[in-house]
Chains A and B, each alone.
Chain A
Amino acid sequence: MERECLAEAVEKRRKEDDFEQSLSRALRRRDQPYESYIQLIGKVREAAGKDRKDLFKVAEQLLGST
Chain B
Amino acid sequence: MKVLVVDNGGQWTHREWRVLKYLKVDTKIVPNSTPFEEVEEADALVLSGGSPSVACEAGRMGNNGVYLDRFPGPILAICAGHQFMCTHFGGSIGPAQRPEFGAAALHVLEEGEIFSGLPKQFQVWESHNDEVKSLPDAFQVLARTDDCPIEAVRHRSRPLFGLQFHPEVENTEHGYEIFQNFLKVVESWKR
Contacts and interface: CB of A to CB of B under 8 A. Distances in A.
Contacts of B159: 34
B184 interface: yes
A18 B111 CA distance: 14
Given A20-B116, A38-B156, A45 B188 contact: no
Contact of B184 (A20, A37, A38, A45): A20
Contacts of B189: 24, 28, 34, 37
- Size class of the B contact interface (CB-based, 8 Å): 10 to 19
Interface string B143-177: 00000000000001111000000000000000000
> Main SS of chain A's interface residues?
helix
A33 B117 CA distance: 24
B41 interface: no
B187 interface: yes
Contact of B187 (A21, A33, A37, A38): A21
Contacts, number: 29
B40 interface: no
A38 B157 CA distance: 7
B113 interface: yes
Contacts of B113: 20
Contacts of B188: 20-21, 24-25, 28
Interface residues of A, number: 12
B158 A34 contact: yes
Contacts of B158: 34-35
B177 to A, nearest CB: 12
B157 A18 contact: no
A61 B98 CA distance: 45
Nearest to B181: A20
B156 to A, nearest CB: 6
A-B pairs with the 6 shortest C-beta distances?
A24-B188, A35-B157, A34-B159, A21-B188, A34-B189, A21-B184
Interface of B: 111, 113, 116-117, 156-159, 184-185, 187-189
9 contacts: A21-B184, A24-B185, A24-B188, A24-B189, A25-B188, A28-B189, A33-B157, A38-B157, A45-B111
